[in-house]
Amino acid sequence: MKQFKEFRSEQNHINEIGPIGATIAGAMGLLGLGIGGYKLYKKAKEKIKSRRDDREEKGENQEAGVFVDVKVFDPETGTETTETRPLHEPGSKGARMNNDEVSKAEKEEQKKQTLKNKKAKFKFVQAQKVNKDALEKGKVLKYDKETGEYSVEDPPKDDETGTDDTQTEPKDTQTEPKDTEKKPDPEQELRKRGDAGEIDNDGDANAYYKIVGKAPTGWETKKSKTGKSFTLVKKDDAKPQGKVTGKDTSAADKLLRRNSRVLKFGEFIAEDIMKDLKKISKSKKDSEISLDDGSDIPIDPLTSEILVKYIEGLSSSEKNRTIKQIQRTERAFMKVLGKAHEG
């Protein structure tokens, strides 16, 4: 029974340490050495594990290649930068290194570079000392890669673009008012001219009156003989320069757009309409006639001549009745005009 228990205990111990460990322990005769033998076994096992990891690291580095990071002194800026250098190409035999070997190789590379850094840094500091006065005046060091020597020069104009931008901004702001001056508001421009007395034609005068509601400076309103309409007249010559009737008739608007001078029958002689018709027949411009009902009838010289000849061809009584008829309403005027054309 005692022998069975001892055998059982040994089997449990073998299961714990594994078959490889048991083989090693058996070879060393450590099954009966207790704790001391177990510690020796653990060290042996760690070595085995370390070798396995070592093979994996070498395989990975050989596949990826070996690169090392080295601090390099930049002679142009006077600062240190980190430079990654390839040590062994991927797939090469030299790249089969574990991480410890890579770290060691990196230290070797840095050691070589540190010596070069010290020499370059010393040269940079010496150049600063020699050119101290020039540097204090705003000069900067310039490193020549071909000769490895330093010189001083003016600082680069990094803000040239910015300077140009700041110069163009005021130009843009200066052009804005110019654009505004090139395209003034026609209505505002007409108001200014009318207030300053710079209007010299009846077309602008009538336009100013429609906007402001009064005659422009240097102009005045003059009522017609009937008192039902008025014209805008310049104060210096007191001659009719056009007319604003207050009505939106197509004939009146047409005449205003042409800026033509409108001759009104009622503004010639007020004795009777026949004298007005005779004057218009001798005129070379289209005119308007104001009737008692407030209507303004546009008429040309030829039509006026036809109407005069028709009325003068009537008997005395018929003539007076017809003259009164055409003076009263637009309808009566057009009726008589139609008869005149038929005649």
The 8-class DSSP code of residue 202 comes to H
- Say which amino acid occupies 260: S
pLDDT in tens, 128-187: 999 988 888 888 988 998 888 988 888 887 654 444 444 445 545 455 555 545 567 888
Cβ(102)–Cβ(61) below 8 Å: yes
pLDDT in tens, 252-281: 455 445 433 444 444 333 346 788 888 888
Cα–Cα distance for residue pair 215/195, rounded to 1 Å:
10
- What's residue 134's pLDDT? 87
Q: Can you give the pLDDT at residue 122?
A: 92
pLDDT digits (tens, 9 = 90+) for 40-67: 666 666 666 578 888 888 899 888 888 8
CA angle 13, 18, 24 (to 5 degrees): 90
pLDDT per position as a tens digit, 303-317 = 888 888 888 888 888
CA distance 143 to 60: 41
At 140 the three-state DSSP class reads strand
**Domain boundaries along the sequence of the chain:** 2-63, 66-152, 262-343
DSSP letter, residue 198: -
